[in-house]
Structure 1
């Protein structure tokens, strides 16, 4: 029975691996228009990969909940959780960013001459995730709040990008497939993971408004953004989460 939480953690890893498989075989369609322009249709498989990453996030929550409920917390479970998170919320988002960068270059006439070096910055996400998880395991300051943005939240932010393009909420697909926007996102989220900035934990300490004010404010803003922007709300919620953490740092530390 004590291994049940660890089995849920492995399910997190399984979902992450499935997401990577889907990302690696996207099957995009390339159409030549007037002999010059290339039109790229984001494949469904990338969107399916995003859903597996979100499902892994639910499982990631459940394994910790079950471990506490069954009093089965262990050092092995802690390490297994970090290793699984590194794959699901580090490597899988890296592959998403790699494919999005590749697609951004495929819109150009010189698409097939693009060097792989222009796509490799995506690996910063996996490196940031690994650093963040290793730091979390040895940093005793992170029992109440985090230092740096948690890896799963970063993974959700990247996983939302293919969905924004696929559903084209608010006609944002061209913006998301702009390589300079993708480079900017990559650098920003990688830095925020490894930074020492105080970031609020999303766990509720009690049921009082005063003790959970930042989280309640975040929840209200998040619901409002989701209603208006649909999938495009997730990157906005990510930015709101970071901004609120910095503005209300005295209340979360």
Structure 2
């Protein structure tokens, strides 16, 4: 039995293991460690496909296993993160003691799992959609997970004041983010892939421009750059489709 055919699946399982560890830290609201393990899981998610193609051992099992691992790392973990953030807000708002108010307020944190439901639906669609071999339709779950997981890290690293802290402390904003996230995951927006198949400028110019701008933003803004990077990713994808391809 060839060992090499198991290498991509082993890397995929490392993605799943990273997601499980991230879950533990998310339950403890240790956001920096949860973010680190999600990033590590996404790193493994990138390389399992690379080795499957390089070793010519791609398989239907690998495709399904990849989505199952992504469901944890990029579906359950970000949903839990928003749940925990909203639960923290609800716990702090003890002044809402009107009759029936606490019951409805207690349901609010579960809105975070709209992200998990949206991720599950997107991953199921991706597995049967033959149009998404070289690009994506809708926001990929790893990109969405990075966006969501950056929010509690940004909040935790703020000084407890300011516009960003107040915004991320608003239940309305967090519920809105959950709704927008579920929409973007399953939208019809075409987005370019970051996987480089050919090493030349003409084929990869969008990816290179995006990576350079992303690095500059990370050096300048650190964790706060991640939401901007995801927005940049969407905008560049739209510009690429509507302007550059028509030129």
Assess if the C-alpha contact under 8 Å between 1:200 and 1:252 holds in 2.
no
Say whether residues 1:97 and 2:97 are aligned partners: no
Task: Name stretches of at least 5 consecutive residues in structure 2 with no aligned partner.
Answer: none
Say whether residues 1:213 and 2:199 are aligned partners: no
Report the counterpart of residue 184 of structure 1 in structure 2: 176
Assess if the C-alpha contact under 8 Å between 1:15 and 1:52 holds in 2.
yes
Taking the aligned partners of 2:174 and 2:245, their CA distance within structure 1 comes to 30
Question: 1:28-177 maps to which residues of 2 (within 5 A)?
Answer: 45-110=30-95, 113=102, 115-168=105-158, 172-177=164-169
> In the TM superposition, what whole-angstrom CA distance separates every residue of 1:137-157 from its partner, at most 9, and x where no partner exists?
111111221110111111111
Worse-superposed segment, 220-229 or 87-96: 220-229
| Equivalent residue pairs, number | 235
SS in 1 for 2:57: coil
Task: Name stretches of at least 5 consecutive residues in structure 1 with no aligned partner.
Answer: 27-44
Report the counterpart of residue 232 of structure 1 in structure 2: 224
Worse-superposed segment, 6-15 or 91-100: 6-15
Taking the aligned partners of 1:174 and 1:60, their CA distance within structure 2 comes to 34
Taking the aligned partners of 1:58 and 1:243, their CA distance within structure 2 comes to 23
Calculate the TM-score normalised by the size of structure 2.
0.87
Assess if the C-alpha contact under 8 Å between 1:105 and 1:111 holds in 2.
no
Taking the aligned partners of 2:43 and 2:94, their CA distance within structure 1 comes to 42
Taking the aligned partners of 2:170 and 2:90, their CA distance within structure 1 comes to 9
Taking the aligned partners of 2:169 and 2:234, their CA distance within structure 1 comes to 23
Taking the aligned partners of 1:214 and 1:111, their CA distance within structure 2 comes to 49
Q: CA deviation at 1:252?
A: 7.0
Assess if the C-alpha contact under 8 Å between 1:144 and 1:252 holds in 2.
no
Taking the aligned partners of 2:245 and 2:109, their CA distance within structure 1 comes to 37
Report the counterpart of residue 3 of structure 1 in structure 2: 6
Report the counterpart of residue 194 of structure 2 in structure 1: 202
Taking the aligned partners of 1:205 and 1:46, their CA distance within structure 2 comes to 34
Taking the aligned partners of 2:31 and 2:96, their CA distance within structure 1 comes to 20
> In the TM superposition, what whole-angstrom CA distance separates every residue of 1:37-85 from its partner, at most 9, and x where no partner exists?
xxxxxxxx22211111011011111211222222221110110000110
SS in 1 for 2:146: helix
Q: CA deviation at 1:111?
A: 6.6
Assess if the C-alpha contact under 8 Å between 2:90 and 2:106 holds in 1.
no
Assess if the C-alpha contact under 8 Å between 1:16 and 1:53 holds in 2.
yes
Calculate the TM-score normalised by the size of structure 1.
0.85
Q: CA deviation at 1:204?
A: 2.3
